[in-house]
Structure 1
Amino acid sequence: MYVAVKGGEAAIDNAHRLLADRRRGDRSVPALTLDQIAGQLALGVDRVMSEGSLYDRRLAALAIKQARGDLIEAIFLVRAYRATLPRFGYSEPVDTDAMVIERRISACFKDLPGGQLLGPTFDYTHRLLDAELDGDPQVAAGDRREAPKEAATRVADILGSEGLVEEDVELAGQAAPGDINHTPVEFPMSRAMRLQSLSRGDEGFLLALGYSTQRGYARSHPFAGEIRIGEVEVEFLVPELGFAVPLGRIQVTECQMVNQFKGSAKAPPQFTRGYGLVFGQSERKAMAMSLCDRALRAEELGEDIVAPPQDQEFVISHCDNVQATGFVEHLKLPHYVDFQAELDLVRTMRAEYAQRESTFRTDLQEAAE
């Protein structure tokens, strides 16, 4: 039970003014611009876009600035704004085979058709603070490697040519995958609906679950089959024209994990797949998503559900950081009536306990005499 707080408008207004003052910080330091945030804090912007479910770098930068760098608060702001936007329809399925690749690696094969492209990554950096960044030196831009013009062969396709990995299910001709924004959550969920939820799920939560699968809390022995970062074209089918028109390009990160599978009565021993696709450069999130996706396929693959990452109701019901934040932070709201009721109950129970203790001691004393 919640109690409305009256007479607190002045205090709330003052809190907002104090927040704005703290957000601005030292006036002798130039204020951050949205271009600076979008360009220099790009990975934070990518996370806000991904988990906010809205691809707009400038709006994500604005949300980060408004939230004073609190990414979950920024995600909340983006989600709230997204809810005000009209929906004109659905884009066509994105063809990641035609991705203009900026980064592409595989932990399964050293030599890949098209080569391994390291791209911008922290993977090989020393985790030491770089004092030179404090002075903001002007660093000459390095040569930007031209992305391959032809589509790069996927690792899964290499394994598939030998029948060593499960077939990739085509969605053509199947029912529409559904939309988690319009469809109430019901379990069990289809894989398409689960992937939507995982794609905008909290990175830290999914990372912890993915890590747990590697430590034995699910049947998982994963290999990073392929991780790609690059731009894909988004198209929209215009009914009046009868064909799809391009809306523009967006940057995405795609991850395919390949996992061992001993086989079943219906399938021979082979590798199975876990999949992740998120906005921007967010490969940690895409990897964690693919690990969780594979774990959630336990029932489909005839495996025993023995760990939290395999329980879709547990994973999907708790992976959304906006929902989790709301439920945790609502504890800051007034609960005066609830607490007073609990307080009275505890006092009553303590009085009864004290009475029982007193009676028990009296009985013992009388028995001793």
Structure 2
Amino acid sequence: MYVAVKGGEKAIDSAHDWMAEERRGDPDVAELSVPQIREQLSLAVNRVMAEGSLYDPDLAALAIKQARGDMIEAIFLIRAYRTTLPRFGASLPVETTEMACDRRISATFKDVPGGQVLGPTFDYTHRLLDFALEAEGLEAPEREAGEAAHPRMPRVTEFLNQEGLIQTEPRPDVDTAPRDLTREPLELPAGRPLRLQALSRGDEGFVLSMAYSTQRGYAKNHPFVGELRIGTVPVEVEIPELGFAVEVGEVVLTECETVNQFTGSKLEPAQFTRGYGLVFGQSERKAISMALVDRALRWKELGEDDKGAPAQDEEFVLYHCDNIQATGFLEHIKLPHYVDFQSELELVRRLRRETEGRVQQEAAE
């Protein structure tokens, strides 16, 4: 046993060395730096921060480099590191209505106060490979004067709310903080704040698939993007010794609010309802998907029928959207299971012997 263990350690060390060589790649090619990843692969960095539940672009970029671009492995690294950090306190809820928007669009109204701000987006590109990017030393295009201005932009859904056409969201109880999913295990049934936490740090591909299923008729409720905004919001912390809140930094967020059909119920008139998504960084695909799934999961509180769709099943969605849990459970089957397999192998052999004996006995009779 001792020889086997030592041999295994040597093999593991060699595998780690080989992986380091593969990570580095051809030594004749310049090595990627963490600042390069942070600045030029920012959407990947944003995803790692969102699903890793830690807003730190430098650490997210380092994790991407260490993981050789494997996003789920990078998210795992960030979550593991997060558990080592001391917790000094909690910030106040951010005010997204005060967001300094780089991008803000609405699919429900053409003309809105503040205007449609296209911002940085792939929406209008031709999806053709740009071989000019292979050239080095290209200068970044200059933005026109005035583009950096960030006027206050009221929420689009406020216009519907003025006529009572959209459901009014209840104000949360400020004295009752929602449970922290990063520190406590998920329990069902989950309230909407906990569901939104799970979706925000859930796997983008899974949440996208659930959202797509609702558009294809499963848990059918036709959504409109009431508003999608990306920008910077200040983060404030209350200092008891001072008696007031102090701004400690800024974070970039993507927020999406969808407007969905609702035929009404015995107690509620026909009106629109909302789906909501909020994610670290620029991650609009994730925010829109999150809003669609959030709305599908609200069927019970809105008095709708359970259509039996996957996106309506709280347990199915919340227990399977976490890519780190899914990866851990899936990848553990590649680790040694010699004893388990030997018992299964012996069982199959015994069953075969019994079957062969029974066949021979029936043939003899």
Q: TM-score, normalised by structure 2?
A: 0.95
Please give the residue correspondences for 1:58-137 in structure 2 after superposition, counting only pairs within 5 Å.
Answer: 58-137=58-137
Distance in 1, matches of 2:148 and 2:299, equals: 37
| Secondary structure, counterpart of 1:270 in structure 2 | coil
* CA apart distance, 1:331: 0.6
For the 8 Å contact 1:180–1:197, the answer to whether it is kept is: yes
For the 8 Å contact 2:100–2:151, the answer to whether it is kept is: no
Distance in 1, matches of 2:358 and 2:226, equals: 67
Which residue of structure 1 lines up, in the alignment, with residue 347 of structure 2?
345
Which residue of structure 1 lines up, in the alignment, with residue 220 of structure 2?
219
CA offsets 1:272-295 (integer angstroms, 9 cap, x no match): 111000000000010111111111
Quick check: 1:195 aligned with 2:196? yes
| Secondary structure, counterpart of 1:153 in structure 2 | coil
* CA apart distance, 1:87: 0.6
The amino acid of 1:358's aligned partner reads Q
Q: Which has the higher contact order (CA 8 A, sep 6+)?
A: 1
Distance in 2, matches of 1:107 and 1:294, equals: 17
CA offsets 1:152-174 (integer angstroms, 9 cap, x no match): 12111011111111002211446
* CA apart distance, 1:265: 1.1
Change (3 A) 1:6 1:315: farther
Which residue of structure 2 lines up, in the alignment, with residue 57 of structure 1?
57
| Secondary structure, counterpart of 2:114 in structure 1 | coil
Which residue of structure 1 lines up, in the alignment, with residue 317 of structure 2?
315
- Of 318, 330, 333, 1:331 maps to 333
For the 8 Å contact 2:102–2:117, the answer to whether it is kept is: yes
| Secondary structure, counterpart of 1:101 in structure 2 | strand
Which residue of structure 2 lines up, in the alignment, with residue 366 of structure 1?
none
Structure 1 stretch 175-184 or stretch 317-326: which is displaced more?
Answer: 175-184
Distance in 2, matches of 1:174 and 1:319, equals: 29
Distance in 1, matches of 2:45 and 2:271, equals: 38
* CA apart distance, 1:147: 4.8
Which residue of structure 2 lines up, in the alignment, with residue 248 of structure 1?
249
For the 8 Å contact 1:308–1:314, the answer to whether it is kept is: yes
| Secondary structure, counterpart of 1:261 in structure 2 | coil
Which residue of structure 1 lines up, in the alignment, with residue 17 of structure 2?
17
Distance in 1, matches of 2:71 and 2:187, equals: 29
Distance in 1, matches of 2:81 and 2:362, equals: 63
Distance in 2, matches of 1:147 and 1:191, equals: 35
| Secondary structure, counterpart of 2:187 in structure 1 | coil
Which residue of structure 1 lines up, in the alignment, with residue 41 of structure 2?
41
Please give the residue correspondences for 1:292-307 in structure 2 after superposition, counting only pairs within 5 Å.
Answer: 292-305=293-306, 306-307=308-309
For the 8 Å contact 2:254–2:280, the answer to whether it is kept is: yes
Identity %: 61
Which residue of structure 2 lines up, in the alignment, with residue 230 of structure 1?
231
Quick check: 1:181 aligned with 2:187? no
* CA apart distance, 1:356: 2.4
Which residue of structure 2 lines up, in the alignment, with residue 367 of structure 1?
none
Quick check: 1:27 aligned with 2:35? no
CA offsets 1:125-153 (integer angstroms, 9 cap, x no match): 01111111112351342315535544212
Q: TM-score, normalised by structure 1?
A: 0.94
Which residue of structure 2 lines up, in the alignment, with residue 138 of structure 1?
138
Distance in 1, matches of 2:61 and 2:87, equals: 23
Which residue of structure 1 lines up, in the alignment, with residue 284 of structure 2?
283
* CA apart distance, 1:182: 2.9
For the 8 Å contact 2:255–2:278, the answer to whether it is kept is: yes
Query: Which ranges of 4 or more aligned residues in structure 1 deviate by more than 6 Å?
Result: none
| RMSD of aligned Cα (Å) | 1.5
Q: Structure 2: which 5+ runs fail to align?
A: none
Distance in 2, matches of 1:173 and 1:134, equals: 52
Which residue of structure 1 lines up, in the alignment, with residue 357 of structure 2?
355
Distance in 1, matches of 2:277 and 2:140, equals: 34
* CA apart distance, 1:263: 0.6
